[in-house]
Structure 1
Amino acid sequence: MVSRPPTFCPDCGTRLESTAFDERERMRCPVCATIVWHNPVPCAGVAVVDRSGPEPAVLCVERGVPPGIGEWTIPGGHMEIGEEPSESAARELEEETGVAVDPTALEILSASAMPPRDGKHVVTVHYVVERADAAGEPVAGSDAADARFWTPAEFDASGETFRPVHEDRFREAAGLFE
């Protein structure tokens, strides 16, 4: 199984060929007959919602590394082997923003598939938590250039842009507490 379209067999190194299998086009090794599955990468993120102002604000990060440098996202990233999705979301939140949350405090917001980029497909489990259940002040960390709370009105007036799917989650999270 690979996260990008496969070219060579991971077992024997032979160039793969396209074949029909399970009513889909798959890549298959003509030497050892291995089917190389091209599957999405699991990710997790968490929207921290601050209800202390007149309008709910959601913690977002500005991407500081590819892909999507300069685009805003809900904090999140790739799940690690052995992690539960909520643990991944909490870990990524702290790595990217310095804000910590107990994974058991997270509630599922939604799940979504990102449009593929360079053949890589991502499926993200999105969580939500109230700011009152989080600790720490937002600071840009790991792959973030900035970390801050935005209200929908502030973001709309800013001229900034979101990565695909993240704007929907941002607005969905903010709308939960209006």
Structure 2
Amino acid sequence: MPRSRDYPTRPFLGVSAVVQSDAGILLIERGKPPLMGSWSLPGGLVETGEQLEQAIIREMREETGIQFTPHHIADLVEIIRTDKDGKTERHYVIAVFYGTSDVVDLIAGDDASTAEWVPIENLADYPLTEGTLDVVKKILNTVERSFP
């Protein structure tokens, strides 16, 4: 039986964040389908009546255990996946925030099985969800951070 996000009648609105610290970039390992076992930026869907900034603060707390104050929306990402017949199987519009953190200890929760600070130079060694590395590079270059 298809999940409610499969073959949507409208796009889903989500939030995500590129969070940078001295230890690297914050990533979570997805603990549930779809893409279970893949690594991505923390985030999730916006709830009805919830502002985007409130949503990313909630999602960060739920998935990583940290209190997060986003600096700004750094990118808008659209994910559209079609099936073999060309029908839209998934459609998300994601507001990607940028922020920094000095929190060291992470507590994975909600949809995340693991949360880690990953050194920038090691990001490509992780099985990242499609487009994650490109988004991180784009945002870090935009905020004038060097990316190897």
CA shift at 1:129, angstroms? 0.5
SS in 1 for 2:137: helix
- Root-mean-square deviation (Å): 2.2
Query: CA, structure 1 residues 131+84, in 2 after alignment: closer, same or farther (shift >3 Å)?
Result: same
Structure 2: gaps (5+ residues): 84-88
Question: Identity of aligned pairs, percent?
Answer: 24
Any conservation in 2 of the 1:114–1:123 contact (CA below 8 Å)? yes
In structure 1, stretches of 5+ residues that fail to align are: 7-37
Is 1:66 paired with 2:36? no
**Higher Cα Rg: structure 1 or 2?**
1
Partner of 1:39: 10
Larger RCO (alpha carbons 8 Å, 6+ apart): 2
| Consecutive aligned runs of 4 or more in structure 1 exceeding 4 Å deviation | none
Question: SS of the residue aligned with 1:172?
Answer: helix
Which of 114, 121, 130 is the matching residue for 1:164? Answer: 130
Query: Are the aligned partners of 1:58 and 1:174 in contact in 2 as well (CA < 8 Å)?
Result: no
What number of residue pairs does the alignment pair up? Answer: 136
Partner residue, 2:93 = 123
8 Å contact from structure 1 (residues 80, 88) kept in 2: yes
- Deviations along 1:87-116, one digit per CA (max 9) or x if unpaired, are 1111111100001113xx431110011132
Match of 2:86 in 1: none
Q: What CA distance in whole angstroms lies between the structure 1 residues aligned with 2:115 and 2:138?
A: 19
